[in-house]
Amino acid sequence: MTAYVPVVDLSDDQDEIVNDIRNACTNYGYFKVINHGIRSDVREGALSAGEDFFDLSEDEKMEYLSNDVERPVRYGTGGGNLDGDVRSCREFIKLYANPIEDYIEMWPDEPEGFRRRMRKYAKHVRRLAMTLAEAFTESLDLGSSHLTSQMEDDGMHVITVNGYPANDEPVLSLSAHSDYSIFTILLMNNPGLEVLDRDDDEWMSISECDGLLVLVGDHLEVLSNGRYRGVVHRAFYGGDESRISIASFHSLPLYTKMKPAPALVAEDNKKKYRSSSVQDFLEFLASANNISGGDTYIESLRKY
């Protein structure tokens, strides 16, 4: 079944943008953003850089192999079906990207042009993230600078480039999870993303892949004290071509705690979530030994 995808047009006036984001986050937990200012050649350059990286030899990719979830540049495989060869389902390269000057020399220098193409996309998508962060907090009546004042200089920006090989039959390539971030901006070249419908508890496919998708993450759920909920999603892919997706995770600085906004707690008369940081999530992930533990993580933050 195909999911409905709400659209937020950044060329609209600010009041309309904020209202559309509020509706999308309240009812769906995701939306497509258009007129976002990232040219198609920049997006296509990043996707091709990812595809070229996964075409490298095993030895070249293994240089970045690590199980250390705190490593700024990390290659890995798996995340889907555990019965059989998980490497056939998904491989990924994870890159810390802010401040980009601190990490760019750690990024792979092969294939040729990888750093240049991915850096260009990283800079564009971060500018978009700051615009969206302002609109998110305006939609919660917290003011436009509630997040950006903390995110602008030292906020976490992590890019995960995922590669899914061609398969005759669709396979579960990345298990169900919600993202630990405040929000995620997702670029992809082929369908394969599925979201869990909140009302029917059924998986719905996202058929559109010609733009950018924005996903509500766990820490926006915490900030909003539950007004917005992180969207549970997975990758379920099969097709004649390989699939590339580039997820840009945007968060507060590594050790900064995200907590429910006091104004929203006062309105609800109850604080519904514990405070947590990205570092807390990484420690949880390491202890769980599970690359897709976001849905379990948010459950650990909810106060019952």
Going from the C-alpha of 40 to that of each of 37, 119, 210, the distances in angstroms are 9, 15, 9
- Cα 93 from Cα 80, distance rounded (Å): 16
Helix, strand, coil content of the chain in percent (nearest 5): 35, 25, 40
* Dihedral sign (CA 95, 98, 99, 100): positive
Read off the pLDDT band of 83 (50, 70, 90).
very low
5 contacts 31 by C-beta, under 8 angstroms: yes
Coil vs helix vs strand at 220: helix
Whole-model pTM? 0.94
Tally of structural domains, the chain: 1
* Dihedral sign (CA 286, 292, 294, 299): negative
Helix 114-139 vs helix 40-54: crossing angle, to nearest 10: 120
Note the Cα 136 to chain centre separation in Å: 16
User: Is it the case that residue 294 has pLDDT exceeding 70?
Assistant: no
Read off the pLDDT band of 288 (50, 70, 90).
low
Q: Is residue 38 part of a domain?
A: yes
- Paired sense of beta strands 7-9 and 30-34, if any: parallel
Q: What is the pLDDT of residue 79?
A: 64
Chain-wide mean pLDDT for the chain?
Answer: 92
Q: Is residue 106 part of a domain?
A: yes
Coil vs helix vs strand at 10: coil
Coil vs helix vs strand at 278: helix
69 contacts 249 by C-beta, under 8 angstroms: no
Coil vs helix vs strand at 261: coil
Lowest mean per-residue pLDDT among 96-110, 128-142, 275-289: 275-289
Q: Is residue 2 part of a domain?
A: no
Q: Is residue 171 part of a domain?
A: yes
Longest dimension (CA), the chain: 56
Q: Can you give the residue range of the structural domain that contains 163?
A: 7-301
Read off the pLDDT band of 296 (50, 70, 90).
confident
Q: Is residue 31 part of a domain?
A: yes
180 contacts 294 by C-beta, under 8 angstroms: yes
Q: What is the pLDDT of residue 291?
A: 45
Q: What is the DSSP letter of 262?
A: H
- Cα 224 from Cα 138, distance rounded (Å): 11
Q: pLDDT, tens digit, for every residue of 162-184?
A: 999 998 888 898 989 999 999 99
Q: What is the pLDDT of residue 89?
A: 85
Coil vs helix vs strand at 83: coil
Burial of 2 (0-12, 13-18, 19+ CB in 10 A): exposed
Q: Is residue 1 part of a domain?
A: no
Q: What is the pLDDT of residue 66?
A: 94
Q: What is the pLDDT of residue 293?
A: 43
Q: Provide Rg for the chain, Cα atoms.
A: 18
Q: Is residue 227 part of a domain?
A: yes
User: Is it the case that residue 9 has pLDDT exceeding 50?
Assistant: yes
Q: pLDDT, tens digit, for every residue of 13-35?
A: 999 999 999 999 999 999 999 99
User: Is it the case that residue 85 has pLDDT exceeding 80?
Assistant: no
In percent, the amount of the chain with pLDDT more than 70 equals 94
> What is the arithmetic mean of pLDDT over 191-219?
93
Q: What is the pLDDT of residue 86?
A: 43
- Which CATH number does the domain housing residue 51 bear? 2.60.120.330
Q: Is residue 178 part of a domain?
A: yes
